Amino acid sequence: MNTTTIGVDLAKSVFQVSVSNQAGRIVARKRLSRSQFDRFLANHEPATLVMETCGSAHHWARKAAAYGHQPRLIHAPYVRPYVRRNKTDSADADALLRANQDQELKPVPVKDEHRQALQGLHRIRSQYDKTRKQRINLVRGLLAEFGLSLPRTTSRFASLLGEQTEPLPEMLRQSLLPVVEEIADLEQRLKGIERQLAAIGKHDPVVQRLMTIPGIGLIIATAMAASVPNIYTFMHGRQFGAWLGITPREFSSGSTRRLGGITKKGDPYLRTLLIHGARSALLAAARTSEESRTELQRWALALKARSCHNTAAVALANKMARIIWCVWTREEQYQRR
């Protein structure tokens, strides 16, 4: 058992280290450079290494584990209440040691390189998609000022701009053509990343099982596989849904219980993908004949009739999160029942 605990406030080039003994008393504080911190991990006896889940935390956790230490990552907002008085690097490192003594704080599982690389692909795809939408909106907005309307698909953007349309000034046309070329280039890059994700998902049994769930496609399945290092840390499906931030926010006191909108905690990228998948599943349910609908589809459509499409989509996303947990933990495909 490791009797020494080390709290590390990570940074790009300066690492603040606080060392406590078995009794929890801080016995040393050090300020190290990047190379010095690496040597510190290599030369120090095996200890419990506590860090926040910030940039490079998983990298240093993997390196610490290779040196024989026991890494423990704590969600950053849960460490903040343990900071006393002013915020400094030293105070942050000390706060990590105090937060580590709280037995109710569950550590964040350390991601391996494969999962982190897969998550990186999704981050790149998200940025490409965001930039593409910005460029499309820019072109549409500028042309709308001259009374021109572009089709919904982007494939004809270049040909339409190449035409000698009278209302569009020539100097604007020449500047918009590179923007349209950038849109086409971004679309090709998006397709390239999706091909990579498809090749990865083809050999990943978790991704294949998740894709059997209605509303879950390649993008959502690979994003879940990349962002959830260990599904078994969640005791049940509702815990998983709460981690995604799609459970109701509660304002309760005494015998009065008030439930509001969703909490929006956790990763907004995963939550957005899951809600979009639920919208797709809801539309598919509406197109399915009544006698062929599953119990889940009937429930979602009944909720949509009582409330609205958006509320039903978010509620269905919550159901889908629980189904993901069941399919993943039971290691079986989705059953319509």
The vertex-55 CA angle with 51 and 58, nearest 5°, equals 60
| pLDDT attached to residue 1 | 52
**What is the distance between the alpha carbons of residues 258 and 312, in angstroms, rounded to a whole number?**
19
Return the closest-CA partner of residue 274 out of 330, 228, 233.
228
| Per-residue pLDDT tens digits of the chain, which is 337 residues long | 567 999 999 998 999 999 999 888 999 999 999 999 999 999 999 999 999 999 899 999 999 999 999 999 999 999 999 998 899 999 999 999 999 999 899 899 999 999 999 999 999 999 999 999 999 999 988 888 888 787 778 877 777 776 655 678 888 888 888 998 999 999 999 999 999 999 999 999 999 999 999 999 999 999 999 999 899 999 999 999 999 999 988 888 888 888 888 999 889 999 999 999 999 999 999 999 988 999 999 999 999 999 999 999 999 999 999 999 999 999 999 987 6
CA-to-CA dists, residue 32 to 29, 40, 63, 331, angstroms:
10, 9, 16, 45
User: Residue 74 forms beta bridges with which residues?
Assistant: 52
Return the closest-CA partner of residue 261 out of 253, 251, 270, 276.
251
Element (H, E) at 50: strand 48-52
> Residue 120 corresponds to which amino acid?
G
The answer, as to whether pTM is greater than 0.75, is yes
**What is the distance between the alpha carbons of residues 75 and 79, in angstroms, rounded to a whole number?**
7
Q: DSSP letters along 232-269, please?
A: GGSSSHHHHHHHHT-SEEE--BTTB--EEEE---S-HH
| pLDDT attached to residue 2 | 66
| pLDDT attached to residue 325 | 97
Q: DSSP letters along 124-175, please?
A: HHHHHHHHHHHHHHHHHHHHHTTT----SSSTTHHHHHHS--TTS-HHHHHH
Question: Which pairs with CB-CB distance under 8 Å and at least 24 residues apart come from 316-320?
Answer: 316/215, 316/278, 316/281, 316/282, 317/246, 317/271, 317/274, 317/275, 317/277, 317/278, 318/241, 318/246, 318/247, 320/213, 320/215, 320/216, 320/274, 320/277, 320/278, 320/281
**What is the distance between the alpha carbons of residues 45 and 153, in angstroms, rounded to a whole number?**
61
Burial classification of residue 224, based on how many CB atoms lie within 10 Å of its CB (0-12 exposed, 13-18 middle, 19 or more buried) = buried
| Domains in the chain: boundaries | 5-100, 114-200, 208-330
What does DSSP say about strands 14-20 and 5-9: parallel, antiparallel, or unpaired? antiparallel
Phi, psi of 320 (to 5 degrees): -65, -35
Q: Which CATH architecture has domain 5-100?
A: 2-Layer Sandwich (3.30)
Give the three-class secondary structure for 73.
strand
Can you read off the two tokens belonging to residue 48? 């419990």
Q: What is the CA radius of gyration of the chain?
A: 25
User: Residue 51 forms beta bridges with which residues?
Assistant: 8, 73
The vertex-107 CA angle with 106 and 108, nearest 5°, equals 120
- 24 sits in the region (left: phi over 0; alpha: psi -120 to 50; else beta) called left
Q: DSSP letters along 2-47, please?
A: ---EEEEE--SSEEEEEEE-TTS-EEEEEEEEHHHHHHHHHHSPS-
